Chains A and B, each alone.
Chain A
Amino acid sequence: MKEWTSGLRDPGRVRGLAAEMAALDPGRPIRLMHVCGTHEHALCAAGIRDLLPEWLTLVAGPGCPVCVCPASEIDLAVRIAALPGVTLATFGDLVRVPARISLAQARTRGADVRVVYGVADAVALARSLPDRTVVFFAVGFETTACTTAAALRASPPDNFQVLSSHRLVPPALQALLDLPGETPDGFLLPGHVLTVTGTKAYEDLLSRRPIPMAVAGFEPLDILQAIRAILEQVRRGRAEVVNAYPRAVREQGNRAAREAIAEVFEAADAPWRGIGTIPGSGLRLRPAFRHRDAGEVFGLAPDPAVQDAPTGCRCGEVLLGRQEPEECPFFGNPCVPDDPMGPCMVAQEGTCAARYRHRRA
Chain B
Amino acid sequence: MEREPIALGHGGGGRMTSDLIREVFLPALANPRLEALGDAARLDPVPGRLAMTTDAFVVSPQDFPGGDIGALAIFGTVNDLAVSGARPVAISAAFILEEGLARDDLERWVASMALAARRCSVEVVTGDTKVVPRGQGDRAYVVTTGLGAVQAGAPPGPEAIREGDEVLVSGPVGDHGAVIAALRNALDPGTLRSDCGPVWDLVEALLAAGATPRFLRDPTRGGLGTVLGEMAEASGLSVEVRDDALPVRPEVAGLCDLLGLDPIFLACEGRVVAVMPSEQAEEALRAWRRLPSGQEATRIGRVVQRAPAPIVRVTPYGGRRLCDVPAAEPLPRIC
Q: Which residues of A contact B47 (CB under 8 A)?
A: none
Question: Smallest distance from the beta carbon of A361 to chain B beta carbons, Å?
Answer: 4
User: Using a CB-CB cutoff of 8 Å, which residues 305-361 of chain A contact chain B?
Assistant: 337-338, 348, 357-361
Chain A residue nearest to B240 (CB atoms) is: A361
The reply to whether A360 and B253 contact each other, CB–CB distance below 8 Å, is no
Q: Choose one: B257, B260, B307, B312; the contact of A5 (CB below 8 Å).
A: B257
Q: Report the separation of the CA atoms of residues A142 and B124 in the bound assembly, to the nearest whole angstrom.
A: 57
Is A361 a contact of B320 with CB atoms below 8 Å?
yes
Kindly identify, within residues 7 to 59 of chain A, every residue whose CB is under 8 Å from any CB belonging to chain B. Answer: 9, 11, 14-15, 18, 44-48, 50-51
CB-CB under 8 A from A14, the residues of chain B are 316-317
Say how far B223's CB is from chain A's closest CB, in angstroms. 16
Q: Mark A181-205, 1 if CB is under 8 A from B, else 0.
A: 0000000000000000000000000
Write the B289-322 contact mask toward A (1 if CB under 8 angstroms, else 0).
Answer: 0000000000000000001110010011111111
* With contact pairs A1-B254, A1-B257 given, residues A361 and B307 touching in the complex (Cβ less than 8 Å): yes
B80-133 CB contacts (< 8 Å) to partner A: none
From residue B252, how far is it (CB to closest CB) to chain A in Å? 10
* B279 adjacent to chain A (CB < 8 Å): no
Residues of B within 8 A of A359 (CB): 308-309, 321-322
B312's closest neighbor in chain A, by CB?
A361
Q: Sorted from nearest, which 10 A-B pairs have the closest CB atoms?
A: A47-B319, A361-B320, A2-B250, A11-B316, A50-B319, A338-B327, A1-B254, A47-B315, A358-B321, A361-B312
B323 at the A/B interface (Cβ < 8 Å)? yes
Q: Are B319 and A360 in contact (CB under 8 A)?
A: yes
Q: Are B322 and A51 in contact (CB under 8 A)?
A: no
- CB neighbours of B312 from chain A (8 A): 361
Interface residues on A, range: 20 to 34
User: Given A45-B321, A47-B320, 17 more contacts at CB 8 Å?
Assistant: A1-B257, A2-B251, A2-B254, A5-B254, A15-B317, A15-B318, A47-B318, A47-B319, A47-B321, A51-B317, A51-B319, A357-B323, A359-B308, A359-B309, A360-B320, A360-B322, A361-B322
Give the docked Cα–Cα distance between A18 and B317 (Å). 10
Q: Does B244 contact A (CB under 8 A)?
A: yes
A187 to chain B, nearest CB (A): 24
B324 CB-CB contact with A under 8 Å? yes
By the criterion CB–CB under 8 Å, are B319 and A46 in contact? Answer: yes
A293 CA to B321 CA in the complex, in Å? 45
Q: B326: which A residues are within 8 A, CB to CB? A: 338
Query: Would you call A220 an interface residue if the criterion is a C-beta within 8 Å of the partner chain's C-beta atoms?
Result: yes
Measured between beta carbons, the chain A residues less than 8 angstroms from B327 are 337-338
Closest A residue, CB atoms, query B307: A361
**Whole-angstrom distance from the CB of B262 to the nearest CB of chain A?**
9
Give Cα A9–Cα B317 distance, bound, in whole angstroms: 9
CA distance A150 to B230 in the complex (A): 45
Chain B residues closer than 8 Å to A358, beta-carbon distance:
321-323
Bound complex: CA of A227 vs CA of B326, how far in Å? Answer: 32
